[in-house]
Amino acid sequence: MKLLQRTALYQALLALPMIVVGTAIGYGLVRHTVTHELDEALADHAAQLRERMHKTDLFLEITTPDMLVKVAPGTILSEQFSDTVMYDTLAVEDIPWRIGRFPATQADGNAAVLTIGRSQLETDDLVMGIAMSIAAVLVLFSLFTLLLFRWLSSRLWRPFHANLLAMERFRPDSPTPPLAPSNVDEFAGMANALGGMMANMQRDFTAQKRFTEQAAHELRTPLAILRGRLDQLIQNPSLGERDAEVIQGMYTASERMGRTVSDMLTLAKVGDGEFLPQKVDWARMFREEIALLSDLISASKLTVEINEESRCVIQLHPALAQLLASNLLRNAVQHNVPNGTLSLAIARESITVRNIGPALSLAPATLFDRFAKGDPSSTSPGLGLSMVKEIAERNGLRVEYTVADGMHVITVQKG
Amino acid sequence: MKVLLVEDETELRRAIRQYLQDEGHLVESATDFPSAMEKAQLHSYDAVLVDITLPKGNGLDIVRALRKADNACGIIIISAKGSLDDKVQGLDLGADDYLPKPFHLPELVARLRALVRRKQAKAQDSISIEALRIVPDDRLVEVDGARLDLTGTEFDLLHFLAVNKDRVLSRSAILEHVWGDLAERLDRDDFLYAHIKNLRKKLAAQGCDGLIKTVYGLGYRMSERA
């Protein structure tokens, strides 16, 4: 949920009890005041009637839809007020009344109870009306503050969102995106820190890239010398068996080093981001790579199956696509067993390479790591699958390794 | 063949020069850009081997200058930069081949030979060793005039050995020449041995055996039986 939505939600949640409680308090206060006023009116009225009761025996009792006066013999010590509900035959509904009972003396000197009642129908309406107004004002006020706050927040957070977007789009191999300035201290500080971090990352990235390239380049020249000298050396007819062994060891070491250097350079280049994507037909790409590997495949007597469910077109630079395909296939061939199988399934959204092979001796999670090797004595630098991952990740593809039916399965999926 | 070698690394320059001289080529070398330019303009060569990164200049400018002067010599760029851009640019400027460092010297010999063959456009340029005759352009192999059926891999193997006749070729050099960067994935010794065995068998079947010799622990060599 977005920050703005979340604050709005909290505000609404906070406003709701405020509206309810506020309305209830308002209602209670108004009700109390109105009842008090009514009681005073009843008492005034009773005082007037008591005056008249001294002088005359005139019949005082009245009953109208909104007032009643009754006199009955009896004794009470002090005035009493109460609420009651009476059924109105005319209006056909229960009507709330306020009743006051007052001690009085009749003209003949006997004690009596004077009862005066007033319908509360109108005052009730009034109180309800006032309560509703209070509620309405509170709701409107809450809504207004909510909207105002929302608008203000969206304005205030604008540089934050702009910078967030810039951060999401940031890649150390492309120019730094401009960061939105802000006069809010926190945001300005954040933009500053971000700018610094991005610049650092770029510098590190460039430095690392240059270093890898220079290192690879500087290693190639001595390697060329070593190879050249070895090629010369083996022409010597007087070399013995022991010499041959020594020389062979040097050849092997020089090759291994050459391979590492070339893989490192390729990896560094994949990271350059200088490859523009094009549409690549994967089935064709893989078929070509399989053809290139045919000598290797037949040497291990592997059975190759290609299952093309549908055409699969992926946006990738052809050189990278070729690198990805060849590394996947080489991996499947190299970690196979004699007379094993290698199957390739091409679907609309994915490519799956399955191969039989010895169980993985390293943690599956580290399979795509650089220099990850199942067999520590292997002369392969272990950069093949990390290259696959690097290419995939930089081009919006996902690579996954699983084991199914005793086969190693690597899937490259779009998105 | 007269070759100009432009390479600033002393050791590498020596290795290449000696190896090519042993092959019977006449090699002159230059160690930096100005002397290379001077030699390239003063003398004529059959082939020029040029490094890209040179003191006081860029090897690509030598390629450019040679082609601008309509010099038809063969040009091979040897570079440790290994970037695709350099390769494309070099070939665009008129270089005939691009050999990334590190390379095996027999590979350089094979490339030089192919280059000269293309340049001189000799009809039916062929390599003959005893009864064996190889016509590279047609990928044809004959023994005593009878055609020998070889697979593509076997032809590459035989041709590489023949071009480097009388030289000991390391297994590394052979594997890299025939299978390129796939070589690194091969269970090398058995794999190569299997192919050599097949090739020998096919040659022997035509009465042409003993040409490919095993140099114990090092590799193979092709030479007359003698």
Which residue among B15, B101, B217 sits closest to A232, beta carbon to beta carbon? Answer: B15
Q: pLDDT tens digits, residue range B125-167?
A: 788 888 889 988 888 899 888 899 999 889 999 999 999 999 9
CA distance A209 to A268: 6
Write down the pLDDT at residue B121: 67
What does the pLDDT average to over A397-414?
89
Tokens 């060891």 belong to which residue? A249
Q: Which of A42-46, A157-161, A224-228, B11-15 has the lowest mean pLDDT?
A: A157-161
From its phi and psi, is residue B57 left (phi > 0), alpha (psi between -120 and 50) or beta? left
Q: Hey, are the CB atoms on B217 and A241 less than 8 Å from each other?
A: yes
Is residue B140 classed as helix, strand or coil in its secondary structure? strand
Specify whether the CB–CB gap between B15 and B7 falls below 8 A: no
Whether A284 shows a pLDDT value over 70: the answer reads yes
In 3D space, the residue among B225, B223, B3, B226 whose CA is nearest the CA of residue B112 turns out to be B3
Whether B123 shows a pLDDT value over 60: the answer reads no
Structure tokens at A407: 């086969």
From its phi and psi, is residue A76 left (phi > 0), alpha (psi between -120 and 50) or beta? beta
Please list every residue in chain B whose beta carbon sits closer than 8 Å to the beta carbon of residue A380. Answer: 184-185
Write down the pLDDT at residue A273: 60
The per-residue pLDDT of chain A, averaged, comes to 86
The secondary element (H helix, E strand) that includes residue B134 is strand B132-135
Q: pLDDT tens digits, residue range B50-104?
A: 998 899 999 999 999 999 988 888 999 998 876 667 788 889 998 999 999 899 9
Q: Please state the length of chain B.
A: 226
Ranges for all domains in chain B classified under CATH 1.10.10.10: 127-222
DSSP string, A322-389: HHHHHHHHHHHHHT--TT-EEEEEE-SSEEEEEEE-SPPSS-GGGTTSTT--SSTT-SS-S-HHHHHH
pLDDT class of A106 with cuts at 50, 70, 90: confident
Residue A396 vs residues A103, A277, A367: alpha-carbon distances, Å? 94, 11, 20
- Burial group, residue A40, by CB count within 10 angstroms (0-12, 13-18, 19+): exposed
Query: Could you give the dihedral angle defined by the CA atoms of residues A169, A173, A175 and A178, in that order, rounded to the nearest 10 degrees?
Result: 30
Q: Is the ipTM of this complex over 0.85?
A: yes
Q: Hey, are the CB atoms on B105 and A227 less than 8 Å from each other?
A: yes
Specify whether the CB–CB gap between A68 and A117 falls below 8 A: yes
Provide the shortest C-alpha distance from residue A147 to chain B (in Å): 58
Specify whether the CB–CB gap between A114 and A80 falls below 8 A: no
Whether A318 shows a pLDDT value over 90: the answer reads no
Please list every residue in chain B whose beta carbon sits closer than 8 Å to the beta carbon of residue A317. Answer: none
* Chain A interface includes B204 (CB < 8 A): no
Q: pLDDT tens digits, residue range A369-391?
A: 888 777 776 767 778 888 899 88
Provide the shortest C-alpha distance from residue B95 to chain A (in Å): 21
CB atoms within 10 A of CB B35: 15
β-pair type (B74-79, B47-51): parallel
CA distance A356 to A63: 104
Please list every residue in chain A whose beta carbon sits closer than 8 Å to the beta carbon of residue B102. Answer: 220-221, 223-224, 226-228, 254, 258
Q: Hey, are the CB atoms on A296 and B18 less than 8 Å from each other?
A: no
Provide the shortest C-alpha distance from residue A163 to chain B (in Å): 36
**Residue A319 or B110, more confident:** B110
Q: Hey, are the CB atoms on A245 and B185 less than 8 Å from each other?
A: no
Structure tokens at A404: 């199914």
Ranges for all domains in chain B classified under CATH 3.40.50.2300: 2-120
CA distance A209 to A313: 31
Write down the pLDDT at residue A71: 86
Please list every residue in chain A whose beta carbon sits closer than 8 Å to the beta carbon of residue B177. Answer: none
pLDDT class of A138 with cuts at 50, 70, 90: very high
Helix axes B152-163, B105-120, angle to 10 degrees: 90
H-helix segments, A271-317: 282-292, 294-299
For residue B96, which phi and psi values (nearest 5 degrees)?
Answer: -90, -25
Instruction: Please give the domain boundaries of chain A with CATH numbers for all domains.
Output: 3-154 (no CATH), 174-272 (1.10.287.130), 278-414 (3.30.565.10)
The second-level CATH assignment, the architecture, of B2-120 is 3-Layer(aba) Sandwich (3.40)
pLDDT class of A354 with cuts at 50, 70, 90: very high
Structure tokens at A154: 């969206």
Reported in sequence order, the residue ranges of A134-242 that DSSP labels E, i.e. its strands, are: none
Specify whether the CB–CB gap between B167 and B106 falls below 8 A: yes
CA distance B123 to A414: 52
Task: Name the DSSP class of A203.
Answer: H
For residue A337, which phi and psi values (nearest 5 degrees)?
Answer: -120, 155
* Chain A interface includes B189 (CB < 8 A): no
Asked whether the bond before A177 is cis by omega within 30 degrees of 0, the reply is: no
Write down the pLDDT at residue A377: 67
**Residue A173 or B205, more confident:** B205
Q: Hey, are the CB atoms on B170 and A259 less than 8 Å from each other?
A: no
CA distance B189 to A100: 120
Which residue among A223, A224, A292 sits closest to B182, beta carbon to beta carbon? Answer: A292
**Residue B137 or B183, more confident:** B137
CA distance A247 to B61: 38
**Residue A274 or A114, more confident:** A114
Please list every residue in chain B whose beta carbon sits closer than 8 Å to the beta carbon of residue A224. Answer: 9, 12, 80, 101-103
Specify whether the CB–CB gap between B79 and B98 falls below 8 A: yes
Q: Hey, are the CB atoms on B18 and A232 less than 8 Å from each other?
A: yes
* Chain A interface includes B177 (CB < 8 A): no
Buried/exposed A127-136: b ≥16 CB within 10 Å, e otherwise = beebbeebbe
What does the pLDDT average to over A234-261?
88
CA distance B124 to B109: 20
**Residue A173 or A93, more confident:** A93
CA distance A71 to A251: 130
Specify whether the CB–CB gap between A98 and A86 falls below 8 A: no
Whether B200 shows a pLDDT value over 90: the answer reads yes
**Residue A266 or A398, more confident:** A398
Write down the pLDDT at residue A136: 94
Specify whether the CB–CB gap between A203 and B182 falls below 8 A: no
Whether A57 shows a pLDDT value over 80: the answer reads no
Q: Which of A97-111, A252-266, A374-388 has the lowest mean pLDDT?
A: A374-388
β-pair type (A278-281, A303-308): unpaired
Specify whether the CB–CB gap between A352 and A409 falls below 8 A: yes
The second-level CATH assignment, the architecture, of B127-222 is Orthogonal Bundle (1.10)
What does the pLDDT average to over A63-71?
86
H-helix segments, B9-104: 10-22, 33-42, 59-68, 84-92
Whether A292 shows a pLDDT value over 90: the answer reads no
Provide the shortest C-alpha distance from residue B123 to chain A (in Å): 31
Structure tokens at B79: 């570079």
Whether A336 shows a pLDDT value over 60: the answer reads yes
Contacting residues for A192 by C-beta, under 8 A, at least 6 apart: none
Q: pLDDT tens digits, residue range A195-208?
A: 899 999 888 888 88
Q: Hey, are the CB atoms on B82 and A241 less than 8 Å from each other?
A: no
Write down the pLDDT at residue A43: 92
CA distance B64 to A135: 89
Q: Tell me the whole-structure pTM to 2 decimals.
A: 0.68
Task: Name the DSSP class of A320.
Answer: H
CA distance A79 to A292: 113
What does the pLDDT average to over A289-308?
86
* Chain A interface includes B179 (CB < 8 A): yes
